[in-house]
C-alpha cells in the first residue's frame, strides 16, 4: 500500500472511531470557522464596485454575522440553533450571488450540516438535564413550502436593508426601512425560534410534549400510562402540523386533556385524547430511546 493511502486510511480509522456527535459538532465548527477564507474573498470581490461606506457597512455586517455564528457553534443550545439556521441560508444566498464555485460549494455544505438532524439534536440537548433527552419535531409542512422562506427573507432584509441604504445615502428610505424592518425582523425571528423549541422530551417520569405551536403548555405523558410508541396507524390526535416524514404514535391507556393552540392564542375548549401523533426529525432514535427507557414499543 502506498504511503499516502496508508495515511488516509489511518485518518479515516481515527474519524470512524470517534463518537458521531463529536464529528458533527467539530465538522460544523470547522466549516463555519473557514468561511472567511472560502466565501469571504468572493464576497469582497462582489463589493468591489460599491461605494466605500457601503463596503464598510457590508463588511462589518458580514464579520458580525460570522462572529455570531462562531459563538453559536461553540455554545450548543436552542437559541444558537436558531441563529445558525438563520445565518447559514444567508451565507448560501450571498455565495450564490457571487457566482464563485468554491463559495457556493462551501456554503452549501455548511448549510447542509447546520440543518442536519444530528446537529439539531446536539444543539437542543445542550442545556438539557443529564436525565432527560430531547428530540426535535419537524417544521410544519404548510410553513416549509413558502411562508417560512418568505419570513426568513423578510427578517434578513429587515436587519440589513436599513443600514445599507443609509450607507448609500438613501436617508429617507434607509431610515424608514430601519424603523420598520428591525421590529419586524424581531417578531419573525421570535416566531422562527419556536421551531427550535418543539421537542419530545424523555424524562424519568415519562415523555413531555413541548410544542408551543401545538399545545398551550408542555404536557407530561406519564410512563405508567404509555402503552405504545411506534409508527402511527390512523385515528390518533394529529399534532404533526402536516410535517413531512414518518409520524409516530404515542398511545396512552387513558384519555388526557390538551389545550391546542394557534400561534399566540388558545383554541377554545381543551381536547381529550389517548393517542397522539408527532413527527420527530429522528423517529428511529425516538423509538430506540423509548426502548432504552423500557417504554412499550411497537
Residue 115 shares a structural domain with residue 29: yes
Is the sign of the CA dihedral 122, 229, 292, 215 positive or negative? positive
Q: Last residue of some domain: 93, 127, 161?
A: 127
Instruction: Calculate the average pLDDT of the chain.
Output: 90
What percent of the chain lies above the pLDDT cut of 70? Answer: 91
* pLDDT tens, residue by residue, 73-112: 999 999 999 999 999 999 999 999 999 999 999 999 999 9
Number of domains in the chain: 2
Q: Are residues 120 and 28 in the same domain?
A: yes
Question: Does residue 31 sit in the same domain as residue 114?
Answer: yes
Do the domain assignments include residue 276? yes
**Which cell numbers hold the place of 38?**
472560502
Condensed to tens digits (0 to 9), the pLDDT of residues 122-143 reads 999 999 999 999 999 999 998 9
Give every CB contact of residue 51 below 8 A, 6+ residues apart in sequence.
167, 168
Q: Find where cell 481515527 sits.
A: 14
* Enclosing H/E stretch for 207: strand 206-210
Number of H helices, E strands in the chain: 12, 10
- Domain membership of residue 39 (yes or no) is yes
Domain presence at residue 9: no
Range of the domain at 97: 15-127
pLDDT of residue 21: 77
Same domain, 116 and 211: no
| In-domain check, residue 192 | no
User: Which uninterrupted H or E stretch holds 78?
Assistant: helix 78-98
Q: Does residue 291 register a pLDDT over 60? A: yes
Do 115 and 208 share a domain, yes or no? no
Q: Looking at residue 266, what is its pLDDT?
A: 60
Is there a contact between 73 and 87 (Cβ–Cβ < 8 Å)? no
* Sheet with 248-258, edge to edge strand ranges: 226-231, 248-258, 271-278, 237-238
Residue 158 maps to a domain: no
- Residue 104 sits in the same domain as residue 23: yes
Per-residue model confidence as pLDDT tens digits over 55-74: 999 999 999 999 999 999 99
Residue finishing a domain among 107, 127, 147: 127
- How far is it, in rounded angstroms, from Cα 191 to Cα 209? 19
The pLDDT of residue 261 is 79
On whether residue 81 sits in a domain, the answer given is yes
pLDDT at residue 263 in the model: 59
**Which pLDDT belongs to residue 268?**
57
pLDDT over 90 at 52, yes or no: yes
In a domain, 142, yes or no: no
> Residue with C-alpha cell 455570531?
68
Q: State how far the Cα of 196 lies from the Cα of 139, in Å rounded to an integer.
A: 9
pTM, two decimal places? 0.89
Q: Which of 127, 157, 187 is the last residue of a domain?
A: 127
pLDDT at 29: 97
Mean predicted confidence (pLDDT) in 160-168: 95
159 located within any domain: no
Amino acid at each position: 500500500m502506498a504511503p499516502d493511502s496508508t495515511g488516509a486510511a489511518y485518518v479515516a480509522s481515527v474519524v470512524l472511531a470517534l463518537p458521531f456527535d463529536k464529528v458533527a459538532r467539530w465538522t460544523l465548527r470547522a466549516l463555519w470557522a473557514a468561511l472567511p477564507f472560502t466565501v469571504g474573498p468572493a464576497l469582497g470581490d462582489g463589493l468591489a464596485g460599491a461605494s466605500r461606506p457601503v463596503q464598510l457597512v457590508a463588511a462589518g455586517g458580514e464579520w458580525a454575522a460570522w462572529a455570531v455564528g462562531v459563538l453559536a457553534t461553540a455554545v450548543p443550545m436552542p437559541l444558537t440553533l436558531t441563529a445558525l439556521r438563520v445565518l447559514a441560508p444567508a451565507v448560501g444566498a450571498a455565495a450564490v450571488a457571487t457566482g464563485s464555485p468554491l463559495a457556493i460549494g462551501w456554503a452549501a455544505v455548511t448549510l447542509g450540516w447546520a440543518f442536519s438532524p444530528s446537529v439539531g439534536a446536539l444543539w437542543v440537548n445542550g442545556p438539557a438535564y443529564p436525565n432527560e433527552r430531547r428530540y426535535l419535531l419537524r417544521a410544519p409542512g404548510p410553513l416549509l413550502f413558502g411562508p417560512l422562506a418568505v419570513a426568513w427573507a423578510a427578517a434578513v432584509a429587515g436587519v440589513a436593508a436599513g443600514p445599507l441604504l443609509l450607507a448609500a445615502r438613501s436617508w429617507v428610505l434607509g431610515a424608514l426601512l430601519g424603523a420598520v424592518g428591525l421590529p419586524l425582523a424581531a417578531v419573525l425571528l421570535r416566531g422562527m425560534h419556536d421551531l427550535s423549541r418543539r421537542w419530545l422530551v424523555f424524562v424519568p417520569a415519562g415523555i413531555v410534549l413541548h410544542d408551543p405551536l401545538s399545545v398551550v403548555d408542555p404536557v407530561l405523558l406519564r410512563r405508567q400510562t404509555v402503552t405504545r410508541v411506534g409508527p402511527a396507524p390512523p385515528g390518533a390526535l394529529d399534532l404533526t402540523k402536516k410535517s413531512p416524514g414518518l409520524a409516530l404514535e404515542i398511545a396512552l391507556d387513558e384519555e388526557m386533556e390538551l389545550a391546542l393552540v394557534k400561534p399566540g392564542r388558545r383554541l377554545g375548549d381543551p381536547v381529550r385524547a389517548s393517542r397522539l401523533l408527532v413527527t420527530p426529525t429522528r423517529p428511529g432514535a425516538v423509538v430506540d430511546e423509548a426502548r432504552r427507557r423500557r417504554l412499550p414499543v411497537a
